[in-house]
Chain A
């Protein structure tokens, strides 16, 4: 009688050990892979007391990107990897440090806390530069300029921003649109979700009447579902900046330099065409941002 539960315990312990070792060996494989394809490019070594030096010491740079926003940051189900415009920029910056980029999911609601608590070193997550956010973190120079737009099912009665009044509008919690829509169309019935992919689910199942956010994010949704259409309203200008820990001027300089180089050496154009340009009309296409950080900050002033 007594030996039975003991056997069970031993079996459980063995099973746990086997599982744990499997999990560990899986991690081990990852590490090997990442050291194998180290870039051959010569990189500048930074002093250990700078953020760049600390990242180089660690050998990896944690970058917060979106996982559900094609074409900027999304988990490609075919390759199983995160891809997109933001991801490519992150890879470029990590390469300049000679480290491996590690992409972590950072959505509109949690990205700033993740940066502040040091879980990630930098945010590249379709983040509009605003003065309010600038109080918590620092921004790089703009690396992309998106425009505010509205997505509706084809044939919808909603054709202008005012038409959102009385209608259910989906946007992400913590995004600039939460405020913009509240100000521009106070009677809109805002539905705030964590992820833009949830907005897509909601508009596909008729649980909301419209989705409002950056046109590039909405374009990604139209690519996935062609029964939806963009209104082309362009009612806001949303310059994206990389998020950098507050007061880290050396790191900001490094990121600004990297972005400038990214634009100057033509990589920006190349990736724009790859992720955005090919999906939109030629007259809608744009070049690298001409707006400066200072001008960008004035677009979304902090009011209290």
Chain B
């Protein structure tokens, strides 16, 4: 037990800097994922066929490539191509674009949950399609999919651990923990604290989504 606290005390700088890197990585990727995911969802339900297809291609591409492969392509692949992409950019883009595909699918199902009559009504009242989307459909869609989004965000926080273990080698929580483990050989203790760090992030996300749900969800 004392060893458990000893490891944390002695290596607090490593753990906290790792947690901070993971937090920034997740926050930036989430922003990208929500913006891109919303755009793609809108494309997938748009009245134009070619937009549907384009959205479909996006979702199938990013959803069907393992995140680790995506990271390697984004970092090593693009650098080999001559563009010297920064590790942070590669990591955030990979995690963000990957999660965006899932968010787009969740939102699409939310859009389908909004009665078609509402869209017809809005259009017949003279609202343009983008306006109908923005004012009528998407706000309701977001409300319906809050629980699904919550799961996706938690999955994304955990997926972020792949970044540190990959070629990109950002010093995230997992990477720092492994470095401390290599220094001290205290495997159990070190990864216990790494797990606590990830829990801190996921529990915070869960609480935030619970709040969103209570505030915005459709009352039934």
Partner-B contacts on A (CB < 8 A):
108-109, 112-113, 132, 135-136, 173-174, 178-179, 191-194, 198, 201-202, 205-207
Contacts and interface: CB of A to CB of B under 8 A. Distances in A.
Interface stretch (B18-26, B31-39, B129-137, B177-185): B177-185
B116 interface: no
- Greatest chain B CB density within 10 A among A109, A112, A194, A205 is at A205
Contacts, number: 42
B88 to A, nearest CB: 12
A287 B27 CA distance: 55
Given A193-B167, A206-B84, A136 B185 contact: yes
29 contacts: A108-B182, A109-B178, A109-B182, A112-B185, A113-B187, A132-B185, A135-B185, A174-B178, A174-B182, A178-B179, A179-B183, A191-B169, A192-B169, A192-B171, A192-B179, A193-B169, A194-B165, A198-B167, A198-B169, A201-B167, A202-B167, A205-B76, A205-B79, A205-B84, A206-B79, A206-B84, A207-B79, A207-B84, A207-B87
Interface residues of B, number: 17
- Greatest chain A CB density within 10 A among B79, B171, B183, B185 is at B185
B178 A173 contact: yes
- Greatest chain A CB density within 10 A among B84, B182, B183 is at B182
Interface string B63-81: 0000000000001100110
Interface in B145-198: 165, 167, 169, 171, 175, 178-179, 182-183, 185, 187
A113 B167 CA distance: 22
A207 B74 CA distance: 13
B181 to A, nearest CB: 8
A132 B183 CA distance: 9
A132 B182 CA distance: 10
Closest 9 CB pairs of A and B: A174-B182, A205-B79, A191-B169, A198-B167, A193-B169, A136-B185, A173-B182, A201-B76, A205-B80
A101 B15 CA distance: 40
Contacts of B84: 205-207
Nearest to B182: A174
Contacts of A192: 169, 171, 175, 179
A121 B165 CA distance: 26
Interface in B59-117: 75-76, 79-80, 84, 87
A245 B56 CA distance: 54
Contacts of A174: 178, 182
Contacts of B182: 108-109, 173-174, 178
B105 to A, nearest CB: 24
A283 B102 CA distance: 60
Contacts of B178: 109, 173-174
B182 to A, nearest CB: 4
Nearest to B185: A136
A135 B171 CA distance: 27
Given A135-B185, A201-B76, 10 more contacts: A109-B182, A113-B187, A136-B185, A173-B182, A178-B183, A191-B169, A202-B167, A205-B79, A205-B84, A207-B84
B13 to A, nearest CB: 13
A192 B183 CA distance: 13
Contacts of B179: 173, 178, 192
A27 to B, nearest CB: 26
Contacts of B80: 205
Interface in B36-61: none
Nearest to A136: B185
B47 to A, nearest CB: 35
B89 to A, nearest CB: 12
B69 to A, nearest CB: 15
Contacts of A108: 182
A179 B180 CA distance: 11
A66 to B, nearest CB: 16
A191 B87 CA distance: 11
A206 B87 CA distance: 12
Nearest to B168: A207
A182 to B, nearest CB: 10
Contacts of B75: 207
A168 to B, nearest CB: 10
A192 B169 CA distance: 7
Contacts of A205: 76, 79-80, 84
A108 B185 CA distance: 12
A133 B157 CA distance: 33
A192 B165 CA distance: 10
Nearest to A193: B169
B174 to A, nearest CB: 11
Nearest to A179: B183
